[in-house]
Structure 1
Amino acid sequence: MSESSLTQQDQAEYARRRKRLMKAIGKRSAVVVPAAEELIRNNDNHYPFRQSSDFHYLTGLNEPDALLVLCPKRSEGEIVLFVQPNTPEKVRWDGPLTGLEDACRVYGADQAFPIDEIDDHLPELLAGYERLTLPFANHEWMLRALSWLDVLRQRGRSGIVPPQTLKDLAEPLHELRLIKSPIEISRMRRAAAISAEAHRFAASAIAEDMYEFEVAAHLQRVFYQHHGEASFAPIVATGANACILHYRANAARLESGQLVLVDAGAEIEHYAGDITRVWPVDGIFTAAQRAVYEIVLNAQLAAIDAIQPGVPYNAPHLAAVRVIAQGLLDLGLLEGSIESVIESATYKRFFMHNTGHWLGLDVHDVGRYKVDGEWRELAPGMVLTVEPGIYIDQDVDIPEAYRGIGIRIEDDVLVTETGAEVLTHGVPKTVADIESFMNRSTAGKALDL
């Protein structure tokens, strides 16, 4: 399970992140950052291990049962790692682990201790600090921290003072994670490229009478070929299933005349891609499908055009809403003026979600969307998705040609110094390009026969 080494560039990157965090919290606060735990799927069978994004961000260590402690200005060393020691039994069952030596040599710790000695060392490490910063969302570690503080209070008679306040790690750390470094952007470009490759590969296989789960299997084949995995469970939704925003069944059969919505992304070196495209099963959009698709595409392009440093986070959403509202009016699915439709939010019958989210180590990445009650301004290094959609249920008051059409178009976008860079440009998006791609793929499958 151990990643035996990090490049010197990686080592320097993780060290910079730890220093930035310690600067943000101040020299009078210690920090505790736990690794993720292995989770049981059933009986003694584990889920595949996925490291805590916060722990990975600060260490690069991909093992469970570990703890990072930051002790600013501590004379014996500021960086302390608790890890599983290498023992013959552990190596026999699970392979070599990082161990104490490599925790220092590879992962930048000044000191390393066995994980089962936490309770022996933590009270001493926390002594003298005014604050303890740790993840409030992790209830188990909150309880353990309180027990360490109790130990220190019991020792208070000898002049040892425990931290008097607790601070949530999410506030300083997640603000740091929001702005991606050049190394992170490079990894996100790779995740985007592999996500795009997977979408092309899956779309090239789409045919009548396939099942949604077969399309998902094509996606995941590409993810695994690049030593990656799905950044979230792929959504493959044909026909009216596409109107279910978080559709997960992936069990329906693709039928002639339908569209199939594919929302999926690769996680590569812990960084997520996230793309949504819509493909006609027959390779050609119907007139109604094309009309709805063009509205969503124009909304997405308007939203991307609105992205630049200094604009509020919700500016792309407002741009998309205006295009979609006008489009729904033009189709006759809404009535009134565009101003009344936007003010009354009647467009939400067909477009009920926001236009995107932060992207990074998590597919719904961390970072506040508002600061002091106001939408935060976009800044270079932020990465967000742009994914407007229109979802038309099979209601009786909808013209039949539009019933059951669900369209969402999603790309990953980096905020640059001058505007926006679409990272996921490698998948066809216009109607003409999609139909051309699908028909070339169909011809190729026919030749293979």
Structure 2
Amino acid sequence: MNALMKTYAARRARLIEQMQAKGGGIAIIPTAPEVMRNRDADYPYRHDSYFYYLSGFTEPEAVIVLVAGKNNQSILFCRDKNLEREIWDGYRYGPEAAREAFGFDAAFPIDALHAEMPKLMADAPALFFALGSDAKLDAQVQQWLNAVRMQSRAGVTAPAAMHDVHVLLDEMRLIKDAEEIAVMKRAAAISVEAHRRAMKICRPGLREYHLEAELLHEFRRQGSQFPAYGSIVATGANACVLHYRASDAEIRDGDLVLIDAGCELDGYASDITRTFPANGRFSGPQKALYEIVLASQAAAIAETAPGKRFTDGHDAAVRVLAQGMLDTGLLDRKKVGTLDEVIAQGAYRQFYMHRTGHWLGMDVHDVGEYREASADSGERPWRKLQPGMVLTVEPGIYVRPAEGVPEQFWNIGIRIEDDALVTATGCDIITSDAPKTVADIEALMRQ
């Protein structure tokens, strides 16, 4: 077993330890199903993140079963060898080769799942399963439980408790290990080059999809398997639509272009946003708002360190953004009052309506609680950051035309987003090579 496979085996062992701490039982973790796009064509297959985190196995039609008891076991159910199907669809490991290659204690054909599960569930104290994630599997689990309960006269007991296995895995996935960090840094580096490529090629007269094509080209050219999410390439007023998708709008002279895009590499996401002028030069109003967003991001990054609360960065960014809104006249002091009143009343939300970050990992909006557990019924405090956590830092300003808003700022949308790895002393911005100062952006676009 190579070093990477040992990492997956160690994760399974760690999950089994947590199951033992709750009294033991059996865990069921399926991979994602294949999904039909239209007649005779599937969507590109992407494994389930929880499943991959525990296995490194990328074939569809597979389930991990972990047994925490007197004899701990990790079991893989996967597709059987089928040489005829391999001609059409490509190589399959098959149970025996998969068991050896991925370090499982045992492996069975996926077709044996229905027969084997009642045996494995018999006398298990608890079931560790994400109920509600897959309706088809929920129904199968119910059948298996009923099959075990039918054996009660023979002294066999069914699991008496159920725990959400995702809750345990979320906490494991929240802190990245050295292997994960290395992959995420490489994903970040690929995405940086894609953003640089888009900036350099941008000019008035192109369309949004031209820049999207440059991003996808660079992602794939450097070995990324997928975009981590649907790329946002938004010009002009489209940049004020938070989840805009790259379309066919023409990039015009004087527009800003907002690109929110990142690649996925070996199951891990990156997430970068840059905003830049289509013609290579910021106008006065564009530069004024851009510098505010950039300063707000710097304030948030300064609050991204061990011991800081998850929301500290957001609060710092909001304070800078709100002050900038007052200084530029986006917010009328006579109507909204002082900086503290703007923040308390949420008046800034007219132009900044989202949070400043989210967890990042195998999913672009990665798993993990944002608040700490509370022993009483009181409000749960925001989570403290720890080394190994990865999160985005992404403040913005979005100005839609509205009465009382200076017209020079209308249809300007700006967001600046980087990926921050929390370290022992602060944070490492692993996407920092993507230009983001006014001077650096304009210099790159002159090339």
Q: Give TM-score, length-normalised by structure 1.
A: 0.95
Q: Secondary structure at the match of 1:262?
A: strand
Consecutive unaligned residues in structure 2, runs of 5 or more: 375-379
Q: 1:414 matched to which residue of 2? A: 421
Alignment check: 8 A CA contact 2:231 2:246 kept: no
Map 1:402-441 → 2, pairs under 5 A: 402-440=409-447
2:24 maps to 1:17: no
Asked if the contact 2:391/2:420 (under 8 Å) is kept, the reply is yes
Contact 2:257-2:278 at 8 Å conserved across structures: yes
Task: Say if 1:32 and 1:69, in contact at 8 Å, map to a contact too.
Answer: yes
From 328, 351, 361, the counterpart of 2:325: 328
Give the 3-state SS of the residue equivalent to 2:307 in structure 1: coil
Matching residue of 2:156:
160
- Quote the residue 1:4 is aligned against: none
Question: 3-state DSSP class of the match of 1:369?
Answer: coil
Partner of 1:240: 237
Q: Does 1:289 align with 2:286?
A: yes
**SS of residue in 2 equivalent to 1:81:** strand
Structure 1 counterpart of 2:93, which letter? T
Measured at CA, do residues 367 and 18 of structure 1 come closer, stay the same or move farther in structure 2, by a change above 3 Å?
Answer: same
What secondary structure sits across from 2:68 in the alignment? coil
Q: How far apart are 1:25 and its partner, in Å? A: 2.0
How far did residue 203 of structure 1 move?
1.1
- Contact 1:134–1:142 (CA<8 Å) still a contact in 2? no
Instruction: Tell me which of 373, 383, 387 is aligned to 1:376.
Output: 383
Structure 1 residues 324-356: Cα deviation after superposition (integer angstroms, max 9, x where no partner)? 000000001112211000000100000000001
Aligned to 2:377: none
Q: Which amino acid aligns with 2:118?
A: P
Q: What's the CA shift for 1:73? A: 3.4
Q: Distance in 1 between matches of 2:140 and 2:330?
A: 56
SS in 2 for 1:221: helix
Separation in 1 of the partners of 2:299 and 2:18?
36
RMSD across aligned positions (CA): 1.1
- Long gaps (5+) in structure 1: 1-6, 441-449
Aligned position for 1:315: 312
Tell me which of 244, 254, 257 is aligned to 2:254.
257
* Counterpart residue type for residue 123 of structure 2: G
Contact preservation (8 Å) 2:212, 2:246: no
Give 3-state SS (helix, strand or coil) of 1:324's partner.
Answer: helix
CA distance in 2, matches of 1:43, 1:169: 35
1:8 aligns with: 2
Q: Displacement of 1:74 after TM fit?
A: 5.3
1:143-201 CA-partner distances (Å, limit 9, x unpaired): 21111010000011111111012211111111110000010000000010001011011
Instruction: Select the residue among 115, 118, 121 that pairs with 1:123.
Output: 118
Q: What does 1:189-228 align with in structure 2 at a 5 Å threshold?
A: 189-228=185-224
**How far apart in 2 are the matches of 1:245 and 1:10?**
38
Instruction: Name the amino acid aligned to 1:387.
Output: E
Range with bigger deviation, 209-218 or 90-99: 90-99
Q: What secondary structure sits across from 1:129 in the alignment?
A: coil
Query: Quick one: percent identity of the two aligned structures?
Result: 45
TM-score by length of 2: 0.95
Task: Report Cα offsets for 1:247-283 as digits up to 9, x if no partner.
Answer: 0152200000010000000101110000000110110
Task: Determine the C-alpha separation between the residues in 2 that align with 1:434 and 1:287.
Answer: 15
**Does the residue aligned with 1:71 lie in a helix, a strand or coil?**
strand
C-alpha separation in 1, matches of 2:18 and 2:383: 19
Supply the AA of the counterpart residue of 2:292.
I
Aligned to 1:357: 358
SS of alignment partner, residue 261 of structure 1: strand
CA distance in 1, matches of 2:435, 2:246: 26
CA offset at residue 88 of structure 1? Answer: 2.1
Instruction: Pick the aligned partner of 1:276 from 263, 273, 287.
Output: 273
Task: Give the alignment of 1:125-164 within 5 angstroms.
Answer: 125-136=120-131, 137-164=133-160
Supply the distance in 1 between the matched residues of 2:105 and 2:37 (Cα, whole angstroms): 36
What is the SS of the residue equivalent to 1:106? helix
Match of 1:347 in 2: 348
Q: Quick one: which amino acid aligns to residue 167 of structure 1?
A: H
User: CA shift at 1:111, angstroms?
Assistant: 1.0
**What is the CA distance between 1:127 and its match in structure 2?**
1.3
In the alignment, is residue 93 of structure 1 matched against residue 88 of structure 2?
A: yes
**C-alpha separation between the residues in 1 aligned to 2:245 and 2:253?**
22
Structure-1 separation of matches of 2:32 and 2:350 = 40
d(CA) in 2 for partners of 1:74, 1:100? 24
Task: Give the Cα separation in 2 of the matches to 1:321 and 1:251.
Answer: 33
The CA deviation string for residues 14-68 of structure 1, in whole angstroms up to 9 with x for no partner, is 0111111111122512100001111000112100000000000000000110000
Question: Hey, what's the Cα distance between the residues in 1 that align with 2:112 and 2:96?
Answer: 16
In structure 2, the partner of 1:3 is none
Report how many residues are paired. Answer: 433
> Residue deviations 1:377-420, cap 9 Å, x none?
10000000000000000224221210000000000000001101
1:106 equivalent to 2:110? Answer no
1:390 lines up with 2:397 in the alignment: yes
2:229 and 2:430 map into 1 onto residues whose CA distance is: 18
Query: In structure 1, what is the Cα distance between the partners aligned to 2:98 and 2:129?
Result: 21
> Residues of 1 paired with 2:338 and 2:123: CA distance?
64
Asked if structure 1 preserves the Cα contact closer than 8 Å seen for 2:386 and 2:422, the reply is yes
